Structure 1
């Protein structure tokens, strides 16, 4: 069973397969981990059901976020152990004059208190990680992300965080457009809508990324040579 099997019909899946979509592109040898917008404003301060979580932060995704945090922690542990790059694209606290179209489309984002923008401690940055403030869904748009990845000689990106249908998807599409290998561990991303989560995982898997169970991707990554040994 894949995450989208209960949402995407067998007929639709057959159509994509007949057209040749959804083939595995594989991972390169120099991966980096992106942890996108894993902040308390998207998880809540503690695990709680969705309707309770949005009373604390209207942009919270509820307890599904904390299940993903646990899985992101497993991926992060591997990257720490192998000394591979970890980057944190994140929305910084906004002021009214720089809200742009997002402030009009999602006005509640302008009401989040600064504490909501703190990184979730369990998967937060440490010295040496790269922080990428952003004002738009894609981690690439208007940021220094691409230049950091070039400097690090990265060829593959593991995308985690939220939301699956928003900032993760936008970042995946741009990474694909820059010709990076892109992998999405399916349990390491989250969304406030189960349907949007499933549909976007399916669409990314067909067109832009290898969407894999976290265990499978961890196994593949664990077999890669240490970065410092790659010539």
Structure 2
């Protein structure tokens, strides 16, 4: 059972999703506006947020930015169209996954379970593994922490799992589909925008510039690989 914050302005969608998730055993706090959703976050911390991008007043992207400024809470965005540019903006701003309207409670629950597993016990790494350093970057797989020059790097669930997946085999190229399966648990031919947007966010947090990738290298036509040094 997880604690879900749902921010959705459409009453029918809000009620339907709330009922569907509660029927599956989840606790749901529903908010009709971005302002209400942020207020709910101040009163308690849910396990995951489900955020509609098309909100009245404060937009979903604005809410997403506000949440990311203070928290690495897993966030799943909801969009009306799968090819909408807002999806890319949302992913690059920090969303971990997305679903397309009409929202099916079963699909949404599967995405919620997947994003929570990225920090859950099923993903645990044996504690005896010592932290490994790659230049100025240190990755502690047991503690789920990353530091750069001794300073913590605040990574969200998807960014951390992506870095762990790539750094597990330095020099090995992983395709976008392989990363979708390992990080997002999308076993079907999924949307590679999830991977590309997450790589962009990860590179920014690792201090990489557009002029060169020190750690996460693009292999054109194939995917990405981690450079150990």
Greater helix fraction, Structure 1 or Structure 2:
1
TM-score over 0.5 (shorter chain): no
Determine which structure has greater relative contact order: mean sequence separation of CA pairs < 8 Å that are 6+ residues apart, divided by chain length: 1
How does the TM-score come out when normalised to structure 2? 0.36
How does the TM-score come out when normalised to structure 1? 0.36
Greater strand fraction, Structure 1 or Structure 2:
2
